[in-house]
Copies of this chain bind each other. A is one copy, B any other.
Amino acid sequence: MAPPALSPSIPPSPWEPAGRRAQQREVKRNAVLQTAAQLFNERGFHATSLDDIAERLNVSKPTLYYYVESKDQILLECVKTALDLMQAGIGEVRAAGGSAIDQLKACMRIYSGVVTQDFGMCVIRIGEDPLPDPLKKELRRLKAGIDGQFRRLIEDGVAEGSLAPCDPKMAAFMLAGALSWIGRWYRPDGELTPDQIADQGIDLLLNGVLHRPVAARRKPAAAKAKR
């Protein structure tokens, strides 16, 4: 049934309702940040201008300014979004509970996943160096929070016996370093998918690169006994 036509002569407004406009603005704003992140990662932060970002989005620079204030602010938001994503993912893992080693593996996977995404790559490839001091401090605080979670998980892992005794601070830095570096060398068109990288990378960090002599010696000995 059609609703009663109260004022059939009034044409529909060419403007979207306010709620929908706000939503569309957010979509467009995200597109600006995403495109900027891609350009920063491809060319570097310095080599990317607001004109480059506008050009790739087929808009004018003034249009860009409707969504963002400056290149610095774009970088801040890209890095912050990635760190928030990481923090939220780690928070979920922690809240779900389970053994420390399983939580650590899950958190390493989240870390590795984020740094293969546009915003996460910005954290690693550009970092906070171009930003003024107060913003640098804000980002460092977020990073320290993530680092703290890794340290606690490593402490818990040592306590539960799944991890070898170690300096949790040092171990957290080594894990975060190797995982962060993925954001430097990862290429979306490369041989390995983000999942394959996470699998192999986490395995290397958990088990080390050495051949385990005990397991290695067992097989040939068993083969000999059969002859």
Q: Which residues of A contact B (CB under 8 A)?
A: 44-47, 101, 125-126, 128-130, 132-133, 136, 154, 157, 161-164, 166-167, 170-171, 173-182, 184-185, 192, 197, 200-201, 204-212, 214-216
Contact B182 A201 (CB under 8 A): no
Asked if A176 and B170 make an inter-chain contact with CB atoms under 8 angstroms apart, the answer reads no
Q: List 22 contacting pairs A-B, 8 Å CB cutoff, sorted by A.
A: A44-B128, A46-B129, A47-B132, A47-B133, A125-B129, A154-B209, A161-B211, A163-B209, A163-B211, A164-B210, A167-B200, A171-B204, A173-B182, A174-B181, A174-B204, A177-B179, A177-B181, A178-B181, A180-B181, A205-B209, A206-B210, A212-B214
Report the separation of the CA atoms of residues A214 and B197 in the bound assembly, to the nearest whole angstrom: 27
Number of this chain's copies in the assembly equals 2
A70, chain B: closest CB distance, angstroms? 14
* Chain B residues within 8 Å of A154, by CB: 209
- 8 closest residue pairs by CB, A with B: A177-B181, A208-B208, A178-B178, A177-B178, A207-B208, A44-B129, A174-B178, A164-B211
Q: Check B211 against A130 for contact (C-beta < 8 Å).
A: no
Which of B46, B164, B178 is in CB contact (< 8 Å) with A130? B46
Q: Considering the chains assembled together, what is the distance between the CA atoms of A161 and B179 in angstroms?
A: 26
Residues of B within 8 A of A205 (CB): 174, 178, 205, 208-209
For the complex, give the distance between the alpha carbons of A196 and B204 in Å.
Answer: 22
Closest partner residue, chain B, to A208 (CB atom): B208
A77 CA / B178 CA spacing, docked (Å): 26
In the assembly, what is the distance between CA of A70 and CA of B210, in Å?
45
Residues of B contacting A212 in the complex (Cβ-Cβ under 8 angstroms):
164, 212, 214
| Shortest beta-carbon distance from A174 to chain B in Å | 4
| A214-B211 in contact given A174-B178, A178-B181, A200-B170 (Cβ < 8 Å) | no
**Judging by beta carbons under 8 Å apart, are B129 and A162 in contact?**
no
Contact of A177 among B133, B184, B214 (CB under 8 A): B184
Q: Report whether B211 and A208 are in contact in the complex, using a CB–CB cutoff of 8 Å.
A: no
- Cross-interface CB contact of A173 among B163, B173, B174, B181, cutoff 8 Å: B181
